[in-house]
Amino acid sequence: MWSIKDKLSTRLMNVCVASLCKAKQLEKAEAVIVDGIIIGVQPDVVTYNTLIAAYCRFVGIDAGYSVLNRMKEAGINPNVITYNSLIAGATRYCLLSRCLDLFDEMLEMSILPDIWSYNTLMHCFFKLGKPDEAYRVFQDVLLKDISVHPATFNILINGLCMNGYTENALMLFRSLKRHGFIPQLVTYNILIHGLCKSRRGKAAREFLTELVESGHIPNAITYTTIMKCCFRCKQFEEGLKIFAEMRRKGYTYDAFAYCTVASMLLKTGRITEASEYLGYIITSGFSLDTVSFNTIVNLYCKEGQLDNAYKLLYEAEKEGLESDKYTHAILIDGLCRTGNFKEALQHLNSMSMIGFDSNLVAWNSFINGLCKAGHFDHALRMFESMDVKDSVTYSTIVHGLCKAGRFRAASKLLLSCIRGGMRILKSDKRFVVDGLRSSGLSQEARKVQSKIRLAKILHY
């Protein structure tokens, strides 16, 4: 038997392991366990469960499963939490067969699945577009008389919305309420998101009213979801009213909502108002993440304010916010829009000097800029000089050549893309084949179609 001191030491070790796992420092977490064993502090099931959950989340299911094997070798029996972490890891990567295998393994070890095991399996089926199978899992829960958690209903409602069955989700919601289910704010947010996804903005706003009347307080997610839906449905003034309500209630505590509004204003030609929002974001001292930062840089570039974009980049990097490959692709695109191809190329070449090993996104942006400006020969030369290309690179050049009426060259490039094992967009194939036909080259168009089919059979 362990003493109280030993148990306390194991608990302290577990706290330390959990903190390191949360910080994604898995090697250090492993080192803590090794050091603990050396001084006589033994890990327990909690220690290994913490490691398994972290490996499944940050590395992969195989890495998590290898910890399970080590756990068994150490003489520690896994429990339902162990397998729930593994099932969650498999679900994260939509590995349905792995989830089912883990269920079978649990049962073979006489470990009974709990509601979270079934919840995760349901979520996996929904993610894979199998709502009928997911609902059968729920029926299995009811048959086994397992106590249902509110999260179970949220997974059901979210899964139905995710798969396009928003009306069914609403019917289930109403039925559950009649049977005593007390919805949480997250339940309302799920349904509002489902309604917005199906472009039912009016119904989403009515649901917002019902949410408030039910005694819940909408949060930033609620408002932002409805606001974005209004903008997508071109109900700009309604969206701005929602944003104004967000501001009144103090939910605009980060830059995301402001970026969304500024983006809408810019797209609809309301440049002065967009600039005011951008200015507010900068002067209010919002802490920008990379996505919000890139949104603002993109807005500046589309507006032609390259100086402001570069000034923002300088200020952000001075504050410690690191730009990414998309930041530089946006800047290169902005330079191309203004016809500054020489500067765009200089910026492109400088990326390797500032630590970007891969700048394919930026190269694609530069080639796209050249094609849009009609500099097809220049774009081809850049294309041929590239060591690494992807389907976006090929697609950009194919579209550019078709735009220039050079359909034969486009067809050769298209076939080269397929033979290289890359997938092509249907629109690329259509542009090339239709272009050849419209140029009076019907026989050649048929040959290209045959070659495309043959290349797909050989390389897919």
- DSSP letter string, 333-386: HHHHHTT-HHHHHHHHHHGGGGT-S--HHHHHHHHHHHHHTT-HHHHHHHHHH-
pLDDT in the model for residue 417: 75
Domain 1-112, second-level architecture: Alpha Horseshoe (1.25)
**pLDDT > 90? residue 220:** no
Residue 458 has pLDDT above 60, yes or no: no
pLDDT tens digits, residue range 135-192? Answer: 999 999 989 888 889 899 999 999 999 999 999 999 999 999 898 888 899 999 999 9
Whether the predicted pLDDT of 5 surpasses 60: no
* pLDDT for residue 424: 67
Question: Looking at 26-30, 131-135, 400-404, 415-419, which range is the least confident one?
Answer: 415-419
Helix/strand/coil for 264: helix
* Whole-number Å distance between alpha carbons of 265 and 136: 46
pLDDT of residue 4: 45
Per-residue pLDDT of 42-51, as tens digits, reads 999 999 999 9
What CA dihedral angle connects 100, 102, 104 and 106, to 10 degrees? -140
Q: What's the pLDDT score for residue 186?
A: 94
If pLDDT is split at 50, 70 and 90, which confidence band does 333 have?
confident
Is residue 459 over pLDDT 60?
A: no
Is the confidence at residue 351, as pLDDT, over 60? yes
Residue 350 has pLDDT above 60, yes or no: yes
What is the mean pLDDT of the segment spanning 6-21? 86
Check for a shared fold between 1-112 and 254-323: yes
The arithmetic mean of pLDDT across residues 190-212, rounded, is 90
Per-residue pLDDT averaged across 387-393, rounded? 81
Contacts of 145 (CB under 8 A, 6+ apart): none
- Given a contact cutoff of 8 angstroms between Cβ atoms, the answer to whether 250 and 272 are in contact is no
- Report, as an integer, the average pLDDT of 190-202: 91
Report the pLDDT value the prediction gives residue 86, as an integer from 0 to 100.
96
In whole angstroms, give the CA distance from residue 112 to residue 110: 6
The pLDDT value given to residue 298: 83
Greater model confidence, 442 or 26: 26
pLDDT for position 137: 94
What's the angle, vertex CA 447, arms to CA 442 and CA 449, rounded to 5?
95
Which residue shows structure tokens 């690179």? Answer: 393
Are 48 and 82 in contact by the 8 Å Cβ rule? The answer is yes
Q: What is the pLDDT of residue 460?
A: 47
Q: What is the mean pLDDT of residues 433-441?
A: 79
The pLDDT assigned to 120 comes to 96
**What is the rounded CA–CA span in Å between residue 189 and residue 184?**
9
| pLDDT, mean over the chain | 86
Model confidence at 2, in pLDDT bands (50, 70, 90)? very low
Q: What percentage of the chain's residues is helix, strand, coil (to nearest 5)?
A: 75, 0, 25
| 436-443 average pLDDT score | 79
Contact 52, 64 (CB under 8 A): yes
Q: Is the pLDDT of residue 70 over 90?
A: yes
Taking a C-beta distance cutoff of 8 angstroms, is the pair 340, 332 a contact?
no
Token code pair at residue 158: 């979210």
Domain map of the chain by residue range? 1-112, 254-323
Residues 95-107 pLDDT 10s: 999 999 999 999 9
pLDDT at 14: 94
The pLDDT score that the predictor gives to residue 267 is: 79
**Phi, psi at 150, each rounded to 5°:** -50, -30
Q: Tell me which residue has tokens 């990097």.
A: 317
The residue-averaged pLDDT of 223-228 equals 91
Quick one: what percent of the chain has pLDDT higher than 70?
94
- The CATH number of the structural domain formed by 254-323 is 1.25.40
Angle between helices 236-248 and 255-267 (to 10 degrees): 160
- The model carries a pTM of 0.67
pLDDT at 1: 42
